[in-house]
Amino acid sequence: MSREYQGSDTVLDVGGLKIGGGTFHVVAGPCSVENQTQTLETAKVVKSYGATLFRGGAFKPRTSPYDFQGLGRDGLELLKQARAATGLPIVTEVMSPQDVAMVASYADILQIGARNAQNVPLLAEVAASGKVILLKRGVSGLIDEWLLAAEYICVHGNSQVILCERGIRTFEHACRNTLDLSAVAVAKKETHLPVFVDPSHAAGRFDMVIPLARAAVAVGADGLLVEVHPDPATALSDGGQQLKPKQFGQLMAEIRPIVEVMGKQMGGG
Amino acid sequence: MSREYQGSDTVLDVGGLKIGGGTFHVVAGPCSVENQTQTLETAKVVKSYGATLFRGGAFKPRTSPYDFQGLGRDGLELLKQARAATGLPIVTEVMSPQDVAMVASYADILQIGARNAQNVPLLAEVAASGKVILLKRGVSGLIDEWLLAAEYICVHGNSQVILCERGIRTFEHACRNTLDLSAVAVAKKETHLPVFVDPSHAAGRFDMVIPLARAAVAVGADGLLVEVHPDPATALSDGGQQLKPKQFGQLMAEIRPIVEVMGKQMGGG
Amino acid sequence: MSREYQGSDTVLDVGGLKIGGGTFHVVAGPCSVENQTQTLETAKVVKSYGATLFRGGAFKPRTSPYDFQGLGRDGLELLKQARAATGLPIVTEVMSPQDVAMVASYADILQIGARNAQNVPLLAEVAASGKVILLKRGVSGLIDEWLLAAEYICVHGNSQVILCERGIRTFEHACRNTLDLSAVAVAKKETHLPVFVDPSHAAGRFDMVIPLARAAVAVGADGLLVEVHPDPATALSDGGQQLKPKQFGQLMAEIRPIVEVMGKQMGGG
Amino acid sequence: MSREYQGSDTVLDVGGLKIGGGTFHVVAGPCSVENQTQTLETAKVVKSYGATLFRGGAFKPRTSPYDFQGLGRDGLELLKQARAATGLPIVTEVMSPQDVAMVASYADILQIGARNAQNVPLLAEVAASGKVILLKRGVSGLIDEWLLAAEYICVHGNSQVILCERGIRTFEHACRNTLDLSAVAVAKKETHLPVFVDPSHAAGRFDMVIPLARAAVAVGADGLLVEVHPDPATALSDGGQQLKPKQFGQLMAEIRPIVEVMGKQMGGG
């Protein structure tokens, strides 16, 4: 994945969308897919504000076994309906090697979550799916480990990888994690892959998402993952960090001129 | 797993060995199973010094795809031979849900490694095997997350869990990780499960293993995992942290009187 | 320092310069004042590119007693000459309570370095000087501790404080420290003080300074501290992170449009 | 301070007490000196249980300016009375270079606290006092930085240094800090200085102090600093981590046999 082997930026194709190079994409959607209304409503509203991909969790890696674990296959069906209604390609997480083929039959981009950043059997299996992989950095992953995880996907025959920084675990607890934007700059220098940033999981609180999103654009990221929920107060997971639709609209308005300053164009035009 | 539900210590039974309560066990063996000679020789020598269980990796979760990934099923066959030759029960890691049944057909204790400390599908699958599970804390795992991972195993119907502290990732790099012995004291207070310590992976260097092993006994651990290799300089993985057999003999000699001070007895008598 | 007591931004006055509110300042200069030529040359060139304050270390808090410790009072004399030659106000660090009066007789802004972020006697003494204080966050300082250090200055009668984020110590070592831009967003929300960012010390490598500077502007900082040296390869301290004058010119060119997007104006017009 | 220059352990003399080599000392006393009754009562009771030095804070480096800052010189007078009443040498912290001569006129050992671990002017000043210095590791101090701080004292002409590990700041918050006992083993290997451990500040909670104290002895420490208060619930600082006198008696009873296993003898016989 090193710039030593390929100097120019990798540009991935997802259903006609070009990811990487000079285009900037925002992937938006709820933390968890909860029901049809919530899913379709969110997909439509984030598209209206300029999101170009839709995200939502059907399989949720929760810390506690007593928390909501996701709708599973039913959730994937709802994501498929959202794509049919909006045309937005789907990004969703897969947690188990046994589920890869099934999830890949629904999703356009398979997400490897932070807890699975070094799950070698899973990395091998998603590589074999032939899908584009969005690979989150582990919550305590060294940049080197993150890039080597991308290498695991590559040696299994798939070089369509989007790197995603989502905050690291440090001593500071004002935000849930510490967003490491230097990791974006390092990854952009050392690899030719697109690098996205997830400010929602890093912040863990909605009021920090917009400033961190602006900073992510300015440091050189190629895209954002942002959690949006029609009514965060009733969300089944991570309510505190999800933006309301209007707040997401404000985020899009604030990042757009910085995307332009960076010499890029918004994926949705 | 809380003391609130069960005040007395859990005592597990592994082929007649009692783990937890007043007995102290040392699990020893090489980082990776490499070949028959290395495996059998190490098993015999660690038994001669008082180890009561044998460990060895057949499936290796390596950071880089270009490093040795383990012998797989052939390695499990060698572990089976080692058990036949010495009578020592086998502890070995399983990394993928698909491999659980196969690994469980060889091993006496299934190890969940630090990288998989929050791999929920794997936790569910090992629980279903009915085996005793040795659950390592994640390299950046909160104590709470570690205990909740044990809860995942429990809610899938298996309460035979050994917790294992193996060092956490901090800013300090004189050792590979920072062994957190306060986590042992906290886990002993809050749960009724046996708690082991792996000083080899924490230290990442052989010269720190013995002092950390002594400290682990004194803080109240119920057992140790120690890496031993007949010739660490030629090891296929983690050569720098594995003890030579004589050094392991010294470790056993140094911990024995501290085990007695703690009011426990060595598992091997 | 809380927004609860003062809703509007504090605007400080340093020799006629307004710091905070809608103005953005760049403080630039060498890590250490080394000699007259280096000092005057750097001051002139950073001014030519738009820096509005000049920084340079005369008292250096080095980790090793065998490293260069700074020119002391002779260095302050050189800074005074640089101000006379360029009109740029001087920012310099003071390390000892006994030196505060002397350093204050030369400097326009007294800097409290990261190692002294909780040095209570020093905080009290600089407060009494009546000068504007640039207060760096400790390398492992919680945001709360940083704000309480500002409170120490305040309770000693001086509310002219600029907060400065400079990276925190984490497990990641690709850069020297991890620049925590969420801390800037939190400090801007919770206090009415100006917040600056020092990307040079965070990065510890020159090639990451410009992307981090852009991100700092976009997250909402009110200013930057940037290390510039006419010939970093020969610098007596921190050579690897100092920008060459032309690189500093590039930094200024890249941040200017982002400052405008943020609705601020550059301090130098 | 390196073993390369002096192979054998440094043995310091404090009023006839030998520190280092084969003797183990426990320094005990309250976090803060609060009044005459509390001070004298604590000194007598810790002596009765075998403590060989008395500690108490007169100058307190508190995070918040609104917390109790210590009795200052009046506190030192109380410590002097405690020494007169018990014969125990006094260990107390000094925070400011200007106070060193005054504090040194009362104390037998000058303590440099974790917040001042890189306060170079203070290190130089305490070195010049000619007293034995107890040098705590910074809360985020690398082992190398800690040893270089000892070098600062040494290059200023004083090689009577006791190193003291007191826990480092990590992501884990079950205890206030993570006691890094590998740092003790590393410091014992690389230097010839005595190394003490402060389990009270590391734990931040009284119920973890005894297990950590046992582990500190077993890893190879030469002494302990333990906070003891006649009535922790009413303490003016750090009430949650101070032991009651009976708990301190239990600590002494539990460590004594481990000190013997380590081939050392208790300082008090």
* Rounded CA Rg of chain B: 17
Whether B95 sits inside 8 A of A155 (CB atoms) is: no
Given a cut of 90, whether residue B136 has pLDDT beyond it is: yes
Count of C-beta atoms within a 10 Å radius of residue C5: 8
Distance, in Å, from the CA atom of B200 to the CA atom of B210, rounded to the nearest integer, reads 9
Q: What pLDDT sits at residue C238?
A: 81
Read off the pLDDT of each residue in B228-242 and give the average, rounded to a whole number: 91
Contact D202, D176 (CB under 8 A): yes
Q: Which of A139, A169, A171, A175 to mutate to test the interface with D (most CBs of D within 10 A)?
A: A171
pLDDT digits (tens, 9 = 90+) for C224-242: 999 999 999 998 888 899 9
Whether C115 sits inside 8 A of D119 (CB atoms) is: yes
Distance, in Å, from the CA atom of C241 to the CA atom of C80, rounded to the nearest integer, reads 25
- In D214-266, the DSSP E strands lie at 223-227, 265-266
Distance, in Å, from the CA atom of D162 to the CA atom of D168, rounded to the nearest integer, reads 18
Whether D215 sits inside 8 A of B215 (CB atoms) is: yes
Give this complex's ipTM: 0.96
* pLDDT tens over chain D, length 269 residues: 888 888 899 999 998 999 999 999 999 999 999 999 999 999 999 999 999 999 999 998 777 888 888 899 999 999 999 999 999 999 999 999 999 999 999 999 999 999 999 999 999 999 999 999 999 999 999 999 999 999 999 999 999 999 999 999 999 999 999 999 999 999 999 999 999 999 999 999 999 999 999 999 999 999 999 999 999 999 888 889 999 999 999 999 999 999 999 999 999 87
Which H helix or E strand runs over D128? helix D120-128
Residue C175: how many CA atoms within 13 Å on its side-chain side? 32
Provide, rounded to the nearest whole percent, the portion of chain B with pLDDT above 90. 90
Mean pLDDT of chain C: 95
Residues of A in contact with C207 (CB under 8 A): 189
Which H helix or E strand runs over A216? helix A209-219
Contact A255, A50 (CB under 8 A): no
DSSP 8-state class, residue C16: T
Residues of D in contact with A169 (CB under 8 A): 171
Q: Is B171 on the interface with C (CB under 8 A)?
A: yes
Count of C-beta atoms within a 10 Å radius of residue C110: 25
pLDDT digits (tens, 9 = 90+) for B9-32: 999 999 899 999 999 999 999 999
Q: Is B218 on the interface with D (CB under 8 A)?
A: yes
Distance, in Å, from the CA atom of B210 to the CA atom of B267, rounded to the nearest integer, reads 19
Query: Distance between alpha carbon D207 and the CA centroid of its chain, in Å?
Result: 19
Contact B189, B181 (CB under 8 A): no
Q: What pLDDT sits at residue B238?
A: 82
Distance, in Å, from the CA atom of C171 to the CA atom of C159, rounded to the nearest integer, reads 35
Mean pLDDT of chain B: 95
pLDDT digits (tens, 9 = 90+) for C118-162: 999 999 999 999 999 999 999 999 999 999 999 999 999 999 999
pLDDT digits (tens, 9 = 90+) for B147-183: 999 999 999 999 999 999 999 999 999 999 999 999 9
Strands C17-19 and C12-14: antiparallel
Residues with Cβ within 8 Å of residue B193, at least 6 apart in sequence: B1, B10, B20, B150, B161, B162, B163, B187
Which H helix or E strand runs over A265? strand A265-266
Q: Is A182 on the interface with C (CB under 8 A)?
A: yes
Q: What pLDDT sits at residue B67?
A: 83
**3-state secondary structure at position D50:** coil
Whether D169 sits inside 8 A of A171 (CB atoms) is: yes
Greater confidence (D61 vs C219) lies with: C219
Whether A120 sits inside 8 A of B95 (CB atoms) is: yes
Read off the pLDDT of each residue in C6-27 and give the average, rounded to a whole number: 94
Burial category of B266 from C-beta neighbours within 10 Å (exposed 0-12, middle 13-18, buried 19 and up):
middle
Q: What pLDDT sits at residue C60?
A: 83
Residues of D in contact with B207 (CB under 8 A): 189
Residues with Cβ within 8 Å of residue C78, at least 6 apart in sequence: C33, C35, C36, C39, C40, C56, C58, C71
**3-state secondary structure at position D216:** helix
Q: Which of C171, C173, C180 to mutate to test the interface with B (most CBs of B within 10 A)?
A: C171
Query: Distance between alpha carbon C267 and the CA centroid of its chain, in Å?
Result: 15
Residues of C in contact with D121 (CB under 8 A): 95-96, 98-99
Read off the pLDDT of each residue in B245-253 and give the average, rounded to a whole number: 98
Residues with Cβ within 8 Å of residue D84, at least 6 apart in sequence: none
AA letter at C73: R
Query: Considering only alpha carbons, which residue of chain D is nearest residue A176?
Result: D171
Any idea of the CA torsion for A109, A112, A114, A120, to the nearest 10 degrees? -160
β-bridge mates for residue B133, sequence order? B110, B161
Whether B98 sits inside 8 A of A115 (CB atoms) is: no
Q: What pLDDT sits at residue A61?
A: 79
Task: Calculate how close chain D gets to C64, using CA atoms only, in Å.
Answer: 6
Structure confidence at residue B209 as a pLDDT band (50, 70, 90): very high
Q: Is A172 on the interface with B (CB under 8 A)?
A: no
Task: Calculate how close chain A gets to D166, using CA atoms only, in Å.
Answer: 16
Read off the pLDDT of each residue in A221-241 and give the average, rounded to a whole number: 93
Structure confidence at residue C62 as a pLDDT band (50, 70, 90): confident
Q: What pLDDT sits at residue B86?
A: 98
Q: What pLDDT sits at residue A40?
A: 97
Whether A119 sits inside 8 A of B121 (CB atoms) is: no
Whether B169 sits inside 8 A of A98 (CB atoms) is: no
Distance, in Å, from the CA atom of D210 to the CA atom of B185, rounded to the nearest integer, reads 10
Contact A239, A229 (CB under 8 A): yes
Contact B244, B232 (CB under 8 A): yes
Provide, rounded to the nearest whole percent, the portion of chain A with pLDDT above 70. 100
Read off the pLDDT of each residue in A6-21 and give the average, rounded to a whole number: 93
Helices (H), chain B: 36-48, 73-86, 100-104, 120-128, 143-155, 181-190, 199-203, 209-219, 245-261
Nearest to A217 by CA among A188, A177, A246: A188
Count of C-beta atoms within a 10 Å radius of residue B8: 9
Provide, rounded to the nearest whole percent, the portion of chain A with pLDDT above 90. 90
pLDDT digits (tens, 9 = 90+) for A34-52: 999 999 999 999 999 999 9
Query: Considering only alpha carbons, which residue of chain A is nearest residue B120?
Result: A61
Q: What pLDDT sits at residue B5?
A: 85
Q: What pLDDT sits at residue A92?
A: 98
Whether C183 sits inside 8 A of A189 (CB atoms) is: no
Phi, psi dihedral angles at B265 (to 5 degrees): -125, 150
Q: What pLDDT sits at residue D68?
A: 83
Residues of C in contact with B173 (CB under 8 A): 173
Structure confidence at residue A28 as a pLDDT band (50, 70, 90): very high
- In chain C, the DSSP E strands lie at 12-14, 17-19, 23-29, 53-55, 90-93, 109-112, 132-136, 161-165, 195-197, 223-227, 265-266
Task: Calculate how close chain C gets to A73, using CA atoms only, in Å.
Answer: 36
Query: Considering only alpha carbons, which residue of chain A is nearest residue B152?
Result: A65
Q: Is A169 on the interface with D (CB under 8 A)?
A: yes
Structure confidence at residue B255 as a pLDDT band (50, 70, 90): very high
Q: What pLDDT sits at residue B68?
A: 83
- In chain D, the DSSP E strands lie at 12-14, 17-19, 23-29, 53-55, 90-93, 109-112, 132-136, 161-165, 195-197, 223-227, 265-266
Given a cut of 90, whether residue B7 has pLDDT beyond it is: no
pLDDT digits (tens, 9 = 90+) for B84-133: 999 999 999 999 999 999 999 999 999 999 999 999 999 999 999 999 99
Which H helix or E strand runs over B266? strand B265-266
Query: Considering only alpha carbons, which residue of chain B is nearest residue D140?
Result: B171
Q: What pLDDT sits at residue C1?
A: 82
Read off the pLDDT of each residue in B195-210 and give the average, rounded to a whole number: 97
CA distances in angstroms from D221 to A146, D40, D118, D184, D243, listed in the order given: 38, 28, 23, 7, 20
Q: Extract the tokens encoding C84.
A: 């006379």
Burial category of B41 from C-beta neighbours within 10 Å (exposed 0-12, middle 13-18, buried 19 and up):
middle
Task: Calculate how close chain C gets to D37, using CA atoms only, in Å.
Answer: 28
